[in-house]
Amino acid sequence: MELFSLAFVIFVVLALAAYYAVGAMLGRGQWIVLLVASLAFYCIAGGVQALCFVLFSSLVTWAAARYLGSCDVRCKAERKAWTDRAEKKLVKARFLRRKRVALVAALVLCLLVLGYVKYWNVILFNFGFAQSPRSLGILLPLGISFFTFQSLGYLIDAYNGRFSPQENFAKYLLFVSWFPQLIQGPINKYEQTGEELVRSRRIQDVDCRRAALRLGYGIFKKVAIANLLFPTYDSIFSGVNVHTPGNVIVLGIVVYSVYMYADFSGGIDIVEGVSELFGIQMAQNFRQPYFSVSLSDFWRRWHMSLGAWMRDYLFYPFALLAPLQRFGKWATKHLGRHAGRTLPACIANIVVFLCVGLWHGAEWHYVLWGLYNGVIVALADLLAPAFSWCADRLHVDRGSRGFHVFAVVRTFLVVQVGRYFDCITNVTALGICLHNTLFSFNSTPLSTALVARGIQRVSTLGFPKLTILACVLVFVVSLRYEMGHDVRDDLLAARLPLRLLVYGVCLAIVTLAFPMTVTNGGGFLYANF
- Three-state SS letters, 287-350: CCHHHCCCHHHHHHHECHHHHHHHHHHHHHHHHCCHHHHHHHHHHHHHHCHHHHHHHHHHHHHH
Give the C-alpha separation, 362 to 121, whole Å. Answer: 10
Q: CA-CA-CA-CA torsion for 478, 420, 450, 461, nearest 10 degrees?
A: 0
Cα Dmax for the chain: 85
Q: Is residue 147 part of a domain?
A: yes
Residue 136: its pLDDT value, please?
44
Domain finish residue from 414, 437, 455? 414
Q: Tell me the residue type at 60.
A: V
DSSP-H helix ranges across 82-187 = 85-126, 144-159, 169-177, 179-182
* Separation in Å, CA 324 to CA 3, 156, 347: 44, 22, 9
Helices 190-198 and 30-81, packing angle to 10 deg: 130
**Do residues 389 and 452 both lie within one domain?**
no
- Domain membership of residue 287 (yes or no) is no
pLDDT of residue 145: 77
Q: For residues 213 and 146, state if they share a domain.
A: no
Let me know whether 78 and 164 are in one domain: yes
pLDDT mean values, one per 10 residues, the chain (529 residues): 75 93 88 93 79 87 93 86 80 89 91 75 63 49 75 93 91 92 85 89 90 94 89 80 84 92 93 93 92 94 92 90 91 89 93 88 86 94 91 88 93 94 87 87 68 56 74 94 92 91 91 71 59
User: How many independent structural domains does the chain possess?
Assistant: 3
**What is the separation of C-alpha 406 from the centre of its chain, rounded to a whole number of angstroms?**
27
pTM above 0.85, yes or no: yes
Same domain, 169 and 120: yes
Q: Which of 151, 179, 198 is the last residue of a domain?
A: 198
Note the pLDDT of residue 487: 92
- Give yes or no: residues 68 and 187 share one domain: yes
Look at residues 104, 88, 94 and name the one whose alpha carbon lies nearest to residue 71: 94
The verdict on 452 and 518 lying in the same domain is: yes
Residues 231, 109 share a domain: no
Phi-psi region of 457 (alpha: psi -120 to 50; beta: other; left: phi over 0): beta
The answer to the question of residue 440 being in a domain is: yes
> What pLDDT does residue 426 have?
84
Looking at the fold, whether 121 and 267 belong to one and the same domain comes out as no
Is residue 296, in this structure, part of any structural domain at all?
no
Note the pLDDT of residue 137. 44
pLDDT the model gives residue 285: 92
Same domain for 146 and 48?
yes
Question: Of 167, 198, 229, which one is at a domain's C-terminal end?
Answer: 198
Domain assignment present for residue 19? The answer is no
Instruction: Give me the residues paired with residue 286 across strands.
Output: 302
Query: Residues 432, 375: one domain?
Result: no
Q: Is residue 7 part of a domain?
A: no
Is residue 8, in this structure, part of any structural domain at all? no
Q: What is the pLDDT of residue 127?
A: 63
CB 107, CB 155: distance < 8 Å:
yes
Whether 337 is in a domain gets the answer yes
Whether residue 360 sits in one domain with residue 326: yes
376 and 455 part of one domain: no
The answer to whether 181 and 146 are in contact (CB under 8 A) is: yes
Query: How does 202-216 read in b/e, with b if 16+ C-beta sit within 10 Å?
Result: eeeebeeebbebbbb
- Residue 521's domain comprises 207-282+426-529
DSSP three-state, residue 200: coil
Asked whether the beta carbons of 525 and 264 are under 8 A apart, the reply is yes
Question: Cα–Cα distance between 466 and 228 in angstroms, integer?
Answer: 9
